[in-house]
Structure 1
């Protein structure tokens, strides 16, 4: 199509492409454009209607899922903060009780994730996130009423049950709205919301401990759980109105015009993202005969082993040095620095993944982990250097952010496989966490965790070399599927629409293959 025709078609296209593209193209001209795109998300080469659509999707989807996951991270992180600010003593929560409660959370997480995430492809699934968020918000309130460790165990299991399908379902949803050079930055922002939740949790618990202890006859750590619930439930209720689910489920949301909806679907078909089909047992055979599920499950298990000290090692080391070196407020607030480091690392490394190959950024992250964890395993290191090593632990979210985007792209040609791999890999890693928390990082070993840091170092070494396998896997897929245009089995030609041939999605002359 000539350039003069492109310039005239600035209104929303009314036709849908009948073909599925299959490209990993990135729209940049120069290497420094990747750094510019960290801050400019709507470049001038985008057509006005496409830019408007992206603005809407970012506002209504990205903002909502970030707010939702912020509250999830807040609720999840607060148990450690409550532990170091009075809960341990008040309900006799000693020994390995903290590790047990985290393992029970993982157990509930796994039970619901295995089944729940597969339903994200169904038409009614747009309501799944708000419903589950409402449930976990109410359960978060209930944690303020616990009087024994067993009561807390039960609540942590139920909260894990409610939260299980959320992470993979949100990542899947983002992958159904954004193209190759858009998705990594959006997943990065989503992942940062989790880090901010963990960071804010420390300040929240500290403020509750300082200002609300004794109010209404409740301890400060109990007020922390109550405030978490107050944040969570209203956001969940907004989701029933605002959240559209995947691009296929969004036909009736008030903020998306019918023509915009059709164009949003055509964009993703051009980017190689297939529509969902029927669920069947054949899916299991199809998935396990491909490399994606095996590679990403192994990588996610190692990712979680590397991430085990996050939110655990640093605060418990601070707690061990209370009150000689650090005050109660310091114990809650200083771990927020670790989260802040993670936010900056994600913004730069995961943000640049939209413009460049992901492999250098994964390598940088694993090398830093090897240095950090091997040093912490030695333990007898200067205090300043120990602080540096603990700050590096915040980089664990970089792995999660980049690999989440990678799964969306590597599995883009099969919607059900994409959902399955996202859920299955996370579920297996959480299953491993049930015992790795207790064996590698038992609370009784705090704050040294000598075995745990050695295991995390080994996991980081393996992760340093594993991406080579995925590089070859993607090359294999290119040979199998080919490049260019692949007929979409889920689309049928509409003879009533004689113009149904193509749709302009911005100036494609700026595409650069990566």
Structure 2
């Protein structure tokens, strides 16, 4: 019988600059081929789907300032209520979607959601009233609900600590890049298609959004992989690829799906400090992202009825893309630093970014609102620096909750649910449309919340550190109580034909991180014994 190929696990430290640039440069050829397949399918189609999703999300704002407000008579706080309608649908669909995801293959459930929101995005192009917009946006939000946490959950099921931050960052960059596409897309449509075939420019935006989205959703069915615990060999991933994936996740301590959902287990999730802290962090996250939304209203506020416009419709759509570009570049820089030179530590750049956010929000609150472009616009452009830490936060959560796939899925959904619960009311209280861009109280609140974030992230880092120390002490105590374990085993000191490497402490290897050390507590393997009784 042919011998089984050895398991290939990421084990080469990322010391070279090439390994820091892209982790697969330091692994074996076989694992490099596997990672290429994974990146080409999961990362590519996940990012494309995220891009389309967030183009749709940002299109409603672009459409509003490009004619929809006037065409449908959306005055007062009706814009806010349309946003809230989508948010309510998004909240309702969160937890059910992620529960389903741990039981239905990802390559079926995720594309199903994509097709659903595509169909109703097409329908938005034909909306004739405020009520129609409310209903359609609710259904679009319902279908979009599970997509974002589902992708983060699936990524956390395939990649180890050395790889996950970068992939999360690439995925999240679509959130920043999408408004850039949407802004220039709306500008191009307004100038080139406005009035074509009887449709005004803002309606064409939803049509084109759907046209782009549909083929990506169909292709995702064939390309998106399931999680390693549920995936079966197919035309992309062989049985050997899946074996590599499962071994990698076993070394990273990431458990596959399979635990039943019971009242007791869900109560356990609700009382876990990890689930509670990460959910709380995301719950207050909307305060950090809302100040940037004032930028487009600030630009539009310069145009006074009866006077020549200060900013054209194209400029109002395009200038905010500078903020999105900054967020994308900054976020990607941070995830590369975290995965590479910082060796998987997430908290240093997260704390630094929130400290800077406090300064930015304070300046937005104390400087004149209608100051010159050179004074005010740069503050808007960099104001999302704190909220750009989403990919590192999600990577940190997946790494700390490695022992339960179901808890990871539950926590991701809880984080997103409470985030959008706050998104539903924070704009109505602190960043109302009727007050834009004069939302100084909101900017003050954002500065305070950035300070709270520093406390929450610091608490998370301390608790995680204490948990690792506790786990090490527990393992050492177990070894001390094991019969015959008082004498460390060295070559030539094996007993009963076994080699027990009790404390093989060596520099950390990717995917098996424990405070910078790899502790192989019970590496037990049979020894071949010579006639003299000494092991070979």
- Smaller-chain TM-score bracket: 0.7 to 0.9
3-state SS of the aligned residue for 2:113?
helix
2:497 is matched with which residue?
none
For residues 13 and 401 of structure 1, the distance between their equivalents in structure 2, rounded to whole angstroms, comes to 37
Find the partner of 2:396 among 387, 394, 406.
406
Deviations for 1:60-92, whole angstroms, at most 9, x for unmatched residues?
110010000000000000000001100000000
For residues 276 and 426 of structure 2, the distance between their equivalents in structure 1, rounded to whole angstroms, comes to 20
Offset of 1:332 from its aligned partner? Answer: 0.8
2:279 is matched with which residue?
297
Contact 2:361 2:443 in 1 (8 A): yes
2:382 is matched with which residue?
392
Find the partner of 2:121 among 125, 128, 140.
140
2:455 is matched with which residue?
465
| Equivalent residue runs for 1:243-322 within 5 Å | 243-276=224-257, 277-310=259-292, 312-322=293-303
1:324 is matched with which residue?
309
| Equivalent residue runs for 1:6-45 within 5 Å | 14=5, 27-29=13-15, 37=19, 39-44=21-26
Q: Using a 3 Å threshold, how does the CA distance of structure 1 residues 250 and 435 change in structure 2: closer, same or farther?
A: same
Deviations for 1:43-76, whole angstroms, at most 9, x for unmatched residues?
23x1111111111100011001000000000000
| Unmatched 5+ stretches in structure 1 | 1-10, 487-506
| Equivalent residue runs for 1:16-415 within 5 Å | 27-29=13-15, 37=19, 39-44=21-26, 46-276=27-257, 277-310=259-292, 312-322=293-303, 324-355=309-340, 356=342, 357-380=345-368, 382-415=372-405
For residues 6 and 20 of structure 2, the distance between their equivalents in structure 1, rounded to whole angstroms, comes to 32
3-state SS of the aligned residue for 1:245?
coil
Higher relative contact order (CA 8 A, sep 6+): 1
| Unmatched 5+ stretches in structure 2 | 477-505, 517-536
1:6 is matched with which residue?
none
For residues 386 and 409 of structure 1, the distance between their equivalents in structure 2, rounded to whole angstroms, comes to 39
Offset of 1:36 from its aligned partner? Answer: 5.0
Query: Does structure 1 residue 447 correspond to structure 2 residue 437?
Result: yes
2:446 is matched with which residue?
456
Tell which structure's C-alpha radius of gyration is larger: 2
Q: Using a 3 Å threshold, how does the CA distance of structure 1 residues 247 and 483 change in structure 2: closer, same or farther?
A: farther
For residues 123 and 137 of structure 1, the distance between their equivalents in structure 2, rounded to whole angstroms, comes to 21
For residues 301 and 57 of structure 1, the distance between their equivalents in structure 2, rounded to whole angstroms, comes to 31
Q: Using a 3 Å threshold, how does the CA distance of structure 1 residues 405 and 144 change in structure 2: closer, same or farther?
A: same
3-state SS of the aligned residue for 1:466?
helix
Deviations for 1:402-439, whole angstroms, at most 9, x for unmatched residues?
11111111111111111111111210121122111211
For residues 508 and 471 of structure 2, the distance between their equivalents in structure 1, rounded to whole angstroms, comes to 24
The number of residues matched between the two structures is: 473
Offset of 1:389 from its aligned partner? Answer: 0.6
3-state SS of the aligned residue for 2:105?
helix
3-state SS of the aligned residue for 1:319?
helix
3-state SS of the aligned residue for 2:309?
coil
RMSD: 2.5
Contact 1:117 1:423 in 2 (8 A): yes
For residues 219 and 274 of structure 1, the distance between their equivalents in structure 2, rounded to whole angstroms, comes to 52
Q: Using a 3 Å threshold, how does the CA distance of structure 1 residues 196 and 483 change in structure 2: closer, same or farther?
A: farther
TM-score by length of 2: 0.83
Which deviates more, 62-71 or 349-358?
349-358
For residues 244 and 193 of structure 2, the distance between their equivalents in structure 1, rounded to whole angstroms, comes to 51
Offset of 1:396 from its aligned partner? Answer: 4.4
Offset of 1:482 from its aligned partner? Answer: 4.1
